[in-house]
């Protein structure tokens, strides 16, 4: 039952520290992406869960060496010692353990962030000034895709075994994480299936559930797991049809699920086209803790390939490190911000940039950090900068 599931979910976060009593340590060495220099990264935690980070850091293969395991209460001191000979430190920990044992030397990057789409009165409101989304929707019309909603148990089994499971395996290979059929069955009972039909036959489907005044998009699948149906517009159609379904039934929001916390993540960019707002994800309990001492040498190259969304003083913020010193005029500045800004951020930090010309178009939502500060640009520096910026913005509004 839903209440029991919610209770177990709330309790789960308090059990995680007992699973993380001993933390594996590794060190990776290789050529930093976008540079010719060698970089060293220390990893603490399950390395397979950090692939989304490490694959962005190095060009080609990187050498990984195990350093054994350390008790979680000694993790902070062990990482401080290892940081002296490394360029970047990444730990994956539950939030309670991170607060107790790592302090404020690290950026807290949620493993996943949430995305919410406010249901508009007309879908055309989303396409205004949005040529990419208009093109996507034309693909749905050109292929004559149509919706159908099912609450039939046999349809659910067909979707799970012949669409969802093969699609996830084909897309993610060995890293595929298949959701439990019993969990999905409970979600199905609270919602249904949105079929995408071509010539009257389902080529894909989306499992959704209802929670309060919102619909939740949970799992996508295509016939036989074929990616060809995505190219035909199947994933776009499921979002469009779910939006129409929500509007017809009076829902105000659609939860489009989790997204990796990187500004250049493909799924995040796709959801931004739909004008989603990105938020903290309530059922994510582990963070990536990312630490460095100064933004110099290889550290700069590593972070340039890792445009992060992290937890700042007053909400989610983003850090974009430019790979080389960049001086921009006002129009270039606006273009840079427009490319990186996503709804839901309180602040965007641009590091490695300096401005020239007028600054009338700037606001407290964007903080430019030039090269003069790179010898002190650390997570602690960013946190203090965020607190000062937040206080300044509140003072301008007359808030306490």
Considering only CA atoms, give the Rg of the chain.
Answer: 23
pLDDT of residue 137: 92
pLDDT top residue among 331 and 71 = 71
Q: What is the mean pLDDT of residues 329-348?
A: 86
Percentage of the residues of the chain whose pLDDT score is greater than 90? 55
User: How many angstroms separate the first and last alpha carbons of the chain?
Assistant: 43
Tell me: pLDDT of 317 over 70. yes
Tell me: pLDDT of 254 over 50. yes
Element (H, E) at 21: none
pLDDT of residue 363: 58
Q: What is the mean pLDDT of residues 304-324?
A: 89
pLDDT of residue 228: 93
- Tell me the C-alpha to C-alpha distance, in Å, between residue 211 and each of 32, 187, 214: 44, 10, 6
Q: How many residues does the chain have?
A: 400
d(CA 70, CA 123): 53
Give the list of residues 6+ apart from residue 191 with CB closer than 8 angstroms, or none: 207, 208, 209, 210, 215, 216, 218
pLDDT of residue 399: 40
Tell me: pLDDT of 344 over 90. yes
Q: What is the mean pLDDT of residues 129-141?
A: 91
pLDDT of residue 234: 94
d(CA 38, CA 30): 5
d(CA 393, CA 329): 24
Q: What is the mean pLDDT of residues 273-290?
A: 91
Most confident of the ranges 122-126, 239-243, 369-373: 239-243
Tell me: pLDDT of 231 over 70. yes
The answer to whether 111 and 280 have CB atoms below 8 angstroms apart is no
Tell me: pLDDT of 361 over 50. no
The answer to whether 317 and 346 have CB atoms below 8 angstroms apart is yes
Q: HSE-up of 381 (CA within 13 Å, CB side)?
A: 16
Chain mean pLDDT for the chain: 87
d(CA 249, CA 23): 48
β-bridge pairing 347-355 and 366-369: parallel
Q: pLDDT band for position 392 (50/70/90)?
A: low
pLDDT of residue 359: 45
Percentage of the residues of the chain whose pLDDT score is greater than 70? 91
Question: How many distinct helices (H) and strands (E) make up the chain?
Answer: 15, 17
- Tell me the C-alpha to C-alpha distance, in Å, between residue 341 and each of 132, 277, 282, 357, 359: 17, 11, 22, 22, 18
Give the list of residues 6+ apart from residue 74 with CB closer than 8 angstroms, or none: none
pLDDT of residue 326: 64
What's the pTM?
0.86
């Amino acid at each position: 039952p839903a209440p029991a599931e919610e209770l177990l979910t709330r309790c789960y976060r308090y059990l995680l520290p007992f699973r993380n009593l001993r933390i594996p340590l590794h060190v990776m060495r290789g050529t930093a992406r976008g540079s010719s220099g060698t970089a060293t990264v220390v990893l603490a935690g399950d390395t397979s869960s950090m692939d989304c980070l490490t694959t962005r850091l190095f060009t080609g293969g990187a050498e990984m060496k195990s350093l054994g395991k350390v008790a979680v209460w000694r993790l902070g001191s062990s990482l401080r010692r290892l940081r002296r000979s490394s360029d970047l430190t990444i730990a994956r920990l539950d939030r309670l353990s991170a607060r107790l044992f790592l302090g404020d030397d690290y950026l807290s990057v949620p493993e996943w962030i949430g995305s919410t789409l406010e249901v508009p009165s007309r879908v055309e409101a989303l396409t205004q000034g949005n040529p990419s989304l208009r093109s996507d929707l034309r693909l749905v019309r050109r292929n004559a895709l149509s919706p159908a909603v099912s609450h039939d148990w046999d349809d659910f089994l067909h979707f799970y075994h012949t669409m969802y499971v093969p699609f996830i395996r084909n897309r993610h290979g060995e890293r595929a994480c298949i959701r439990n059929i019993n969990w999905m069955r409970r979600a199905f009972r609270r919602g249904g299936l949105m079929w995408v039909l071509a010539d009257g036959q389902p080529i894909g489907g989306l499992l959704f559930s209802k929670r309060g005044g919102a619909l939740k998009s949970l799992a996508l699948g295509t016939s036989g797991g074929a990616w060809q149906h995505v190219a035909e517009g199947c994933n776009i159609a499921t979002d469009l049809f779910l939006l129409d379904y929500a509007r017809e039934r009076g829902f105000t929001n659609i939860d489009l699920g989790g997204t990796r916390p990187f500004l250049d993540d493909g799924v995040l960019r796709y959801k931004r086209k739909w004008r989603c707002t990105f938020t903290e994800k309530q059922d994510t309990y582990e963070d990536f803790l990312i630490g460095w001492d100064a933004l110099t040498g290889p550290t700069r190259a590593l972070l340039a390939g890792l445009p992060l969304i992290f937890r700042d003083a007053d909400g989610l913020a983003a850090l974009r490190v430019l790979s080389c010193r960049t001086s921009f005029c006002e129009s270039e500045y606006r273009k840079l911000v427009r490319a990186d800004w996503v709804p839901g951020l309180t602040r965007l930090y641009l590091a490695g940039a300096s401005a020239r010309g007028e600054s009338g178009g700037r606001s407290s939502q964007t903080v430019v950090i030039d090269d003069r500060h790179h010898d002190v640009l650390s997570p602690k520096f960013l946190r203090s900068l965020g607190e000062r910026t937040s206080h300044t913005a509140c003072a301008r509004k007359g808030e306490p």
